């Protein structure tokens, strides 16, 4: 086995399962920290935690090569005051807790990756946003990310390397955005959303998982890194690509005013669709990381074939 112990905090969601599938065959032990108990499955063990208080799980994460924190309430909801509080708390509290327990460990994890979001950057249609010259945006989602990363980096962990991984939309069939977009396309509703000029920063699920292992192996990397495919795409082209992969010739566009009504009906926010996320992974590519699926066409074709 390449690795002795990998920890996935809040690892029962979609991205957690992607990472579990990646590391299962190459790690001696994978520990998932979860509020829900699951029986031991081969080299995968689930330990109960509430994300709020220390427990037996603390001893279990000592000596791990990698800890990935995936905690956070899904932002695909209406931004009511209650939901806002839960979105903040579900990210800040577990991150602060991990920082406190790692600070006291004799043998802390070698690398701690906090999965944050590429939505940290401003709405950008004029130029790409990278880790060096990207501009932080304004609004609720950005404030969540800002406080989340502040909490992460303020933790005193001198013996644990830390990376805030600002991840784009992860593409795969099991969950996330793509299955929902495929349903729209098959219903004939897969045209551009809004004016279609907003950029989509995405990453194939295999590249997202490979990226975390690359960061583990490259000990010179720390701080903030973007995890998005090197070729973001405008929404109108993105939807065209999905339609072509499904052999659907036409898709009705959805104007912004209709999206606002639809968002209220299905309980989400139009920001998730209309914000232009033109984010590029400069630090990753500068370090030599090679994406298996750098273009949307390659990614979607691979996902639908497999």
83-126 residue pLDDT tens: 889 998 999 999 999 999 999 999 999 999 999 999 999 999 99
Cα first-last separation, the chain: 26
Question: What's the rounded Cα separation, in Å, for the pair 269 and 267?
Answer: 7
- Number of structural domains in the chain: 1
Whether 90 maps to a domain, the answer reads yes
Q: Which residues contact 302 (CB under 8 A, 6 or more apart)?
A: 204, 293
Beta bridge partners of 170: 203
Is residue 39 assigned to a domain?
yes
Q: Does residue 243 sit within a domain?
A: no
CB 16 within 8 A of CB 10: yes
- What CATH number did the domain enclosing 216 receive? 3.40.50.720
What distance in Å separates the CA atoms of residue 115 and residue 164, rounded to the nearest whole number?
A: 6
Q: What is the DSSP letter of 119?
A: G
Nearest residue to 276 via CA among 158, 159, 169, 125: 125
At residue 258, does pLDDT exceed 70? no
23 within domain boundaries: yes
pTM confidence score: 0.93
Whether 186 maps to a domain, the answer reads yes
Does residue 255 lie within any of the structural domains? no
* pLDDT band at residue 267 using 50, 70 and 90 as cut-offs: low
Domain assignment of residue 89, given as a range: 3-236+266-305
Report yes or no on 259 lying in a domain.
no
């Amino acid at each position: 086995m390449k690795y002795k112990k990998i920890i996935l905090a809040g690892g029962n969601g979609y991205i957690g399962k992607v990472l579990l599938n990646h590391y299962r065959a190459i790690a001696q032990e994978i520990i998932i920290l979860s509020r829900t108990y699951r029986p031991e499955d081969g080299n995968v063990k689930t330990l109960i935690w509430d994300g709020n208080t220390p427990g037996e799980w603390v001893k279990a994460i000592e000596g791990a090569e990698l800890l990935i924190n995936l905690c956070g309430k899904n932002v695909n909801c209406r931004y009511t005051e209650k939901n806002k509080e839960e979105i903040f708390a579900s990210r800040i509290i577990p991150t602060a807790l991990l920082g406190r327990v790692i600070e006291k460990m004799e043998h802390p994890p070698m690398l701690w990756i906090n999965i944050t979001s590429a939505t940290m950057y401003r709405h950008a249609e004029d130029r790409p946003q990278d880790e060096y010259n990207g501009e932080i945006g304004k609004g609720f989602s950005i404030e969540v990310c800002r406080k989340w990363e502040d909490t992460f980096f303020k933790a005193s962990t001198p013996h644990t390397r830390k990376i805030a991984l600002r991840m784009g939309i992860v593409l795969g069939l099991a969950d996330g955005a793509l299955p929902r977009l495929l349903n729209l396309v098959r219903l004939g509703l897969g045209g551009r959303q809004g004016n279609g000029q907003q950029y989509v920063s995405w990453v194939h699920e295999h590249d997202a998982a490979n990226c975390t292992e690359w960061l583990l192996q490259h000990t010179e990397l720390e701080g903030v890194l973007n995890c998005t495919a090197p070729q973001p795409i405008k929404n109108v082209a993105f939807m065209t690509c999905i339609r072509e992969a499904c052999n659907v010739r036409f898709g009705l566009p959805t104007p912004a005013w209709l999206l606002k009504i639809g968002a209220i009906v299905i309980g989400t926010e139009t920001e998730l669709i209309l914000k232009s996320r033109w984010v590029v992974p400069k630090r990753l590519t500068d370090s030599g990381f090679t994406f298996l699926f750098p273009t949307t066409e390659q990614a979607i074709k691979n996902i639908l074939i497999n």
